[in-house]
Amino acid sequence: MLKRHIVLVGFMGCGKSTVGPLVAGRLGEPFVDLDREIERTAGMSIREIFAQEGEAGFRRRETESLRDVLARRPHVVAAGGGLVTQAENRRLLREKAATVWLRAPIDELLRRIARSSDRPLIQGDDGMERARRLYREREPLYAEADFHVDATLGPRQVAELIAAWAAQHGGDPSRGNEERITQRITE
Binding site for ligand S3P (CB under 6 A): 12, 16-17, 35, 46, 80-82, 119-121
From the CB of 7, what's the least distance to ligand S3P, in Å?
12
> What are the Cα distances from residue 164, in Å, to 125, 155, 160?
41, 14, 6
Pick 12 or 110: Cβ nearer ligand S3P: 12
87 phi/psi in degrees, rounded to 5: -60, -40
From the CB of 38, what's the least distance to ligand S3P, in Å?
8
From the CB of 158, what's the least distance to ligand S3P, in Å?
15
Pick 141 or 153: Cβ nearer ligand S3P: 141
- Check the CA dihedral 107-116-26-147 and report its sign: positive
From the CB of 103, what's the least distance to ligand S3P, in Å?
13
Pick 13 or 74: Cβ nearer ligand S3P: 13
Closest CA to 96 of 146, 137, 30, 60: 146
d(CA 151, CA 71): 28
Pick 106 or 121: Cβ nearer ligand S3P: 121
Q: For the chain, what is the radius of gyration of the CA atoms?
A: 16
In sequence order, the 6+-apart residues with CB closer than 8 A to the CB of 65 are 34, 37, 38, 41
